[in-house]
Amino acid sequence: MNNIIYLMLRRLRAPLITLIVVYALSVLGLVLIPGVDDQGQPWRMSFFHAFYFVSFMGSTIGFGEVPYAFTDAQRLWTLICIYATVITWLYAIGSLLALIQDPAFGRLMRRRAFAGEVSRITEPFYLVCGYGVTGSRVVKRLANREIRSVVVDIDQETVDGLEIDGLRVRVPRLCADASLPDVLHDAGLRHPCCIGVLALTNQDPANLAVAIASKLLVPARMVISRSERDVTTANLESFGTDLVVDPFRAYAQYLVLTTHSPYMHLVYDWLLNPRHRHMATVHKRREGRWIICGFGRFGRALFSEFRDDGVELTIVDEDPSQVREDVLSVRGVGTEAGTLREAAIETAVGIVAGTDNDADNLSILMTARELNPRLITVVRQNLSANAPVFESARADFIMEPGRIISNRIMAQMKTPLLPIFIEHMQAEYDDVWAHVLLNRMSRVVGDRELDSWSVCICEEQSPALLMLREPKRLTLRTLAKDPRNRERQLPCIVLMHRRGEAIDMLPGELLELQAGDEILFCGLGEAQREMEWTLKNFNVLQYVLTGEEHSHTILSRLLGHGRQV
């Protein structure tokens, strides 16, 4: 606010001084020039009359000559004054209007409006820095869950784009450099309702600055950051960033999972991705040699992940000198049949078209499929505008890093238990286990979105459960019952149970619950809403447990007694 007033005053100095000087000269002239009164006697205007005359002359011109008709000398001076004052007024008003239209002034006003809007938020919100592919997907999915967010992006066009995205909740936005502390301050970094900070810009230093500022101010608050280089990742992790996602590495891990355990990959995909892949996509042979076209950032990340997994590889790149000696490499882009034949495409199981040119990638895809129709195809999409073309290309995997990392971020924000579940699944279980789980999931949700949520047995999330006097009767099966008809089960599966440090994967239905337990469910979103009834309403819980419907009012208690007696 202060800034605006200072800027305004500073800009208005020159017009105001001009106005004062012109007024002073006009008044002085009128006072000095001799005139005559109505009796023809010599008369001089006083300062009072002169100021009165000049005041209305400057703004209106035409009140008549007061208090007596002017002499010719006075009229000559008035003529000069009219032009001088009108021009000065135009100048002063013009400067004010120019100031209002000034882009710098507009920026200041927007900044002020933004800071005001953020400070008035009274519900929990996320601060999202960077509104790219990932940022916009996360904000949209948060908005669909009616969770508010605040967006800062350095590009005005992206910020304007947010306006036409038509989100369900109002999202305050600002075009500014998120790595500057005062910008973050205005965006609500110190706001008590800010529950998480997401640093998703495509600049590693900016993400680092945002993450470190947030961790310094409020160490317990969740910080999620994107990172493109291993150095930054290590740095971010060193001060306790809750989740660091490297888009290329994340996608490479995702893809590697599909080669050695396709069912586990599907479980992962179903849990994280709202539009999941169909089960039938598994039936392709995946063990064998892969071809990677393009050895850039993506190619390199993929190469190291595949290699750690022991997959045989062939690299196709225009400059094979960067590739290590012990790896089979072919010179070329991969768009011609000759290059691909040289890379022995007939015996490969999969191909990754991973150059940074979308047209090249599509061309590689088409050529490769012609040479070997049974190939698993992975194609990298660089520009989101090309999405329709890529959809009709019918590749097995379209690599959009933004999508993958936004799914991971959403999973982390929905419930921190989900990443733990996935980690344990990958470390301890095999593909057969995953296949069984997948079949169960498929029976529950079919083709609809698989949602996941966690329940904590605590005062805040499940007050009804704690009101029970004999908690030993409470089992997992009770929670999964339909509160409208206890004979039926809700469409959900218990994925994990955590008590302190002990983790129980896919626990049995008869497990007895204690205060402080955390349970991870997956299933249809409506099951979560139904479950809330059991968790939060004691009467509903009674019904689910015993099948009897009590309402605990005095009246019903009296009536109940009467009946017993």
Residues lying near another protein in the complex (CB under 8 A): 6-13, 16-17, 20-21, 24, 27-28, 31, 46-49
Question: Are residues 290 and 314 in contact, defined by beta-carbon separation less than 8 angstroms?
Answer: yes
**Residue 106: CB minimum distance to another protein, A:** 18
Type of residue found at 552: H
How many Cβ atoms from other residues are within 10 Å of residue 398's Cβ?
17
**Cβ neighbours, 10 Å, residue 169:** 15
Q: Which is nearer to another protein, 67 or 507 (CB)?
A: 67
Nearest to another protein of 15, 262 (CB atom): 15
What's the closest the beta carbon of residue 21 comes to another protein, in angstroms? 7
DSSP three-state, residue 191: coil
Q: Which are the contacts of 227, defined by CB distance < 8 A and separation ≥ 6? A: 204, 207, 233, 236, 244, 245, 246
Which one, 4 or 456, has the nearer CB to another protein?
4
Among candidate residues 335, 464, 406, the one with its CA nearest the CA of residue 138: 406
Least gap, CB of 188 to another protein (angstroms): 26
User: What are the structure tokens assigned to 178, written together?
Assistant: 């998120």
**Residue 16 or 121 having the CB closest to another protein:** 16
For residue 231, the minimal CB distance to another protein (Å) is 41
Shortest separation between residue 254's beta carbon and another protein, angstroms: 54
Closest to another protein by CB, 20 or 466: 20
For the chain, how are helix, strand and coil distributed in percent, rounded to 5? 55, 15, 30
Residues 392, 396, 400: CA angle, nearest 5 degrees: 80
**What backbone phi and psi angles, to 5 degrees, belong to 80?**
-60, -45
State in angstroms the smallest separation of the CB of 31 from another protein.
8
Residues 6+ apart with CB under 8 A from 268: 254, 257, 422, 425
Q: Report CA 550 to chain centroid distance, whole Å.
A: 45
Least separation in angstroms between residue 48's CB and another protein is 4
CB-nearer residue toward another protein: 32 or 80:
32
Pick the closer one to another protein by CB: 10 or 557. Answer: 10
Residues sharing a CB contact under 8 Å with residue 552, sequence separation 6 or more, in sequence order: 538, 539
3-state SS assignment for residue 61: coil
Residue number with CB closer to another protein (5 or 502): 5
Q: Report, in Å, the least distance between residue 55 CB and another protein.
A: 13
Report the nearest approach of another protein to the CB of residue 12 (Å).
7
Q: Is 332 left (phi over 0), alpha (psi -120 to 50) or beta?
A: left
- CA separation for the pair 486, 529 (Å, rounded): 16
CB of 71 to another protein, least distance (A): 21
Cα–Cα distance measured from residue 74 to residue 61, given in angstroms and rounded to the nearest whole number: 15
Using the minimum distance from each CB to another protein, give the nearer residue, 35 or 354.
35
Looking at the Cβ atoms of 27 and 330, the one nearer to another protein is 27
Pairwise CA distance, residues 73 & 91, whole Å: 27
- CB-CB contact of 190 with 150 (8 Å): no
